Amino acid sequence: MPKTSARLLTLLSLLQTRRDWSGTVLAGRLGISLRTVRRDVDRLRELGYPIAAVKGPDGGYRLGAGTELPPLLFDDEQAVALTVALQISATTPGNGLAEAAERALNTIRQVMPARLRHRVDALRVTAVERPATRPPAPAQGELLLALSAAVHAHEIVRFGYGSGGADRPPRRAEPHHVITWDGRWYLIAWDLDREDWRTFRADRIDLRSPNGPRFTPRALPGGDVATFVTSTFRGSGDASGNWPCQGTVILDLPATTVARHTRDGLVEEIDPDRCRLTLGSWSWPSLAAAIARYDADIEVIGPDELTNAFAHLARRFTRTTADPGTAARFGCTGSG
């Protein structure tokens, strides 16, 4: 029979892997009697683990959620995954959770066995955000938890929004999802007063309590969160508006290939070898040039300004290649 401490860790690990365990199965897995299983469960309860008894022919056990966070047990893969996630959060500027993630990372590292700590210390992950025209806007962890809880419970939320003052009536919305986009947190919700879908910046939300009644979730436009978010934010890093120039083309490339190199655009699969791309930019020529970088045959869906921009670039490139002095000015010898 293994030592008590090792047996308790094995028992805890088993209880974490599925919802219910019968006493007989646990006894067989651990090579102990049912009486010893009951004693070990009592020891884990004394350590703070909320283990409930399940009725059945030979009894059973279930690890539940408690009022306090007891010691946790992770296998090697879980510990590495948790470390990576915390490093990304700790090194993402302005997300409001970096300091807490750094403290959690240090706590986990201290209790890791030496063999695993050496592996994790060699792992360095840093989240690098693209340069932005505005500073990141942090959101408080408690607010994100409260919004996420309302999403999960399908409860109407009330909140002040923006800088309208305390005398303004609160907004009322059915929360659908909490998302992060380009360094900011957002709440996707159905605005009950405006009767339309809205995307609210979390750092501008002043949540009021208590929540309202429960609601039946509506179907999100586009069918899923990814499609809705991409179409809402495409061509812009914010919900304040889109790029001044937007166009749609068909590319002779798989959607998965285009999506890997597209951050702000909307990519839709037509068939396994073609996709529809909607993209935005600050001018029509720059938009045409951005689409040309995909190095594929292009069919312009619209608007006409995009077609004209491609023609404009074609004339410019033709003049460039027809000028014999161009290569000399740029120091190109054309050696083959």
Whole-angstrom distance, CA of residue 150 vs CA of residue 189:
11
Number of CB atoms found within 10 A of residue 232's CB: 20
Does 173 have pLDDT greater than 90? Answer: yes
CA angle 229, 258, 274 (to 5 degrees): 105
72 pLDDT tier (thresholds 50, 70, 90): low
Q: Are 89 and 139 in contact (CB under 8 A)?
A: no
**pLDDT at position 138, please?**
57
Whether the pTM exceeds 0.85: the reply is no
Q: What pLDDT, on a 0 to 100 scale, did the predictor assign at position 1?
A: 47
Tell me the pLDDT tens digit for each residue of 73-103: 666 777 777 777 777 777 665 556 677 777 7
Q: 72: closest CA among 2, 20, 6, 9?
A: 9
Specify the residue for token string 């939320």.
Answer: 157
d(CA 205, CA 185): 11
Higher pLDDT, 16 or 275: 275
How far, in Å, CA of 134 to CA of 238, rounded? 10
Mean pLDDT is lowest, of 8-12, 132-136, 223-227, 303-307, for 132-136
Given a cut of 80, whether residue 29 has pLDDT beyond it is yes
Q: State which amino acid sits at residue 51.
A: I
Name all domains of the chain by residue range, CATH numbers in brackets.
4-63 (1.10.10.10), 76-121 (no CATH), 141-230 (2.30.30), 234-322 (3.30.70)
Kindly state the average pLDDT of the residues 36-40. Answer: 88
